Chain A
């Protein structure tokens, strides 16, 4: 239908402008922000996500105790059910666990760890993927072939499997007795190595396109070195898709960390993430102490759902073609 009457739609605003600050400004006063305000669900998701981050950052000020300081735990406070139930006790809003640890405080601290690992993992994956993608796209030839073949092979395996393997190898190399902080680093590396492929493919694709554009030729002509051209001119063009991937991957990274911790190969009980809390709480489920596992579960599900909603919306708003 060559001349069908198509109802007027807002012009697509998906073309990212060049330059970081300009992009942000444009994003804010464009259709994107408009569509953000229009979708109540997305707004709610945005607010909840910010809330989660604030709760995590200010955890020490919001919790009634430091749940990981044994001196602050009292066994007489153990297994108290949530405040609104018959046996509830103040100040334990969501009840306490076996060791008298306040579930609410544990969630706040666990949220910190989960978000920290997730964000660091996404940053590492992004840095790795963008760098490799830029190199593959710009250098081309055998280097490109090698990087993309590795990406292909890795893409056939689910991220969780890669993360488990990296984790297992790290344990084997450094011995099984890693302290909590080193485990956290191992987890970040495992997640980073599991999620770089998508960034690399996206960046490589757009480098291949942009490489032949006139403005890159012009930049080469005035003698700008290749890395500068890539970083200043080509990379900003891919920021939209990268932002989408990063948002969706943040949810995936948090799930991956939680899963590893749940499987008992992630963060230890001394520095629990939400996943660790769920693993611990799962042991009390049959005893009827549902609150020890339920609330960390709700927190994790709510966090991931909000981030996913944001990611979904961002993907549609920035680029309807990106799947």
Chain B
């Protein structure tokens, strides 16, 4: 059996500050298979982006990986020396950042930036790399790529720039693409196009995609599976239909309740009371316990570990205590 493209096991990320150590990621595990899109969703500060940066080896000090393992197609990559992880970045893992307006160097033509990346990772000649750059631009849907290749970033619209960024991310045929809020900075009308582009590229090339976003709508449209993150932990992970239609974790329930639907217009959208704790003040036990409607004593002392429920896995004491009773209770 081929190993998953990305396999993260018990990953821990810490930020060392003068006063204390902040645990940004607290033991998370997940896999992404070839051609699969994993959506990672959560509030700001839940650790979604940090997870992405940890995978690609771009955590800047004071942040560092404090434990766990990251495997890329079976090869452990979390402890590689800087030069080796650099060779993986851009070649085997492509990354797309949130803001296409600032992701490209304004002083270089986009063609130069693509050619530079291609030539860093392959042995192609300047001419061959340029030809490939034009093909890539065509593939991501830039009209008249043989002309536009010599344009500067500021000569493109936001959506077009994000397409260039995507072309840069896939130019060495990576096994995995990490897209960090790729549509957040874009106009709503452009968002759908970019999402379907990412989805299409993943399908065509068999690339695994880790899609980080806080937008459940985007996840529902694109992802095969979804991981709901809260305070540096995965609260719930599972196939996207299951999690959206039958969320198990109280936080996931709240999150799904916050998606407006066309059918239930007369219902008020559910709001989760309170806000996510700061990293410096994560409560003992389950980090969600102060906001949880189903909280009981155990939640305040013991940290819940993920339990498998059907195709979903959920980190909540409701499910390992007395599965049947509680499931009934929360469903009501």
Can you list, as one digit per residue, whether each of B179-196 has a CB less than 8 Å from chain A (1) or not (0)?
Answer: 011001000000000000
Does B47 touch A at the CB level, under 8 Å? yes
Prevailing SS type, chain B contact patch: loop
Instruction: List residues of chain B with CB within 8 A of the CB of A3.
Output: 42-49, 214
Question: Which residues of chain A are near B98, meaning CB under 8 Å?
Answer: 1-2
Q: Are A1 and B17 in contact (CB under 8 A)?
A: no
**B-chain residues with CB within 8 Å of residue A7 when the two chains form the complex:** 15, 17, 22, 62
Report the Cα distance A5→B63, complex, angstroms.
9
Bound-complex Cα distance A7 to B279 (A): 8
The contact string, 1 if C-beta is below 8 Å from chain A, for chain B 9-22, is 00000010101001
Contact with B along A1-25 (1 / 0, CB 8 A): 1111101100000000000000000
A212 to B46, CA, bound (A): 39
Size category of the binding interface on chain B: 20 to 34
23 CB contacts below 8 A, A to B, read A1-B49, A1-B53, A1-B97, A1-B180, A2-B180, A2-B214, A3-B43, A3-B44, A3-B45, A3-B47, A3-B214, A4-B50, A4-B53, A5-B24, A5-B47, A5-B50, A7-B15, A7-B17, A7-B22, A8-B17, A8-B19, A8-B22, A8-B279
B22 and A2 within 8 A (CB): no
On whether the beta carbons of A5 and B280 are closer than 8 Å, the reply is no
Q: 1/0 contact trace for B22-46 toward A, CB 8 Å?
A: 1010000000000000000011111
Residues of A within 8 A of B49 (CB): 1-4
Question: How would residues 57 to 79 of chain B score, 1 for a CB under 8 Å from any chain A CB and 0 otherwise?
Answer: 00000110000000000000000
Q: Which residues of A contact B (CB under 8 A)?
A: 1-5, 7-8
User: Which residues of chain B have C-beta atoms less than 8 A from A2's C-beta?
Assistant: 44, 49, 98, 180-181, 184, 214
Residues of chain A within 8 A (CB-CB) of B184 are 2
- Contact check, B214 vs A5: say whether CB atoms are below 8 A apart: no
With both chains docked as a complex, state the minimum distance between the C-beta of A202 and any C-beta of chain B, in angstroms.
29
A227 to B180, CA, bound (A): 52
Cα A139 to Cα B103 in complex, Å, equals 42
> A5–B17 contact, CB under 8 A?
no
Residues on A with C-beta less than 8 A from B48 are 3
* Interface status of B278 (Cβ within 8 A of chain A): yes
Closest A residue to B46 by CB, please name it: A3
Task: Tell me which of A4, A5, A8 has the highest count of chain B C-beta atoms within 10 A of its own C-beta.
Answer: A5
Q: Are A5 and B181 interface neighbours, CB within 8 A?
A: no
Evaluate contact between B278 and A8: CB separation under 8 angstroms. yes
Contacts beyond the supplied A2-B181, A5-B15, A7-B17: 12 A-B pairs with Cβ under 8 Å? A1-B97, A2-B44, A3-B46, A3-B47, A3-B49, A4-B49, A5-B45, A5-B50, A7-B15, A8-B22, A8-B278, A8-B279
Closest to A7 in B: B17
Alpha-carbon distance A2/B182, docked complex (angstroms): 11
Please list the 4 inter-chain residue pairs (A to B) with the smallest Cβ-Cβ separation, ordered nearest first. Answer: A3-B44, A7-B17, A5-B24, A1-B49
Alpha-carbon distance A2/B22, docked complex (angstroms): 18
Docked Cα-Cα span, A2 to B279, in Å, equals 16
A8 to B280, CA, bound (A): 8
A2 smallest CB distance to B (angstroms): 5
CA distance A7 to B214 in the complex (A): 21
Residue of A nearest to B25 (CB): A5
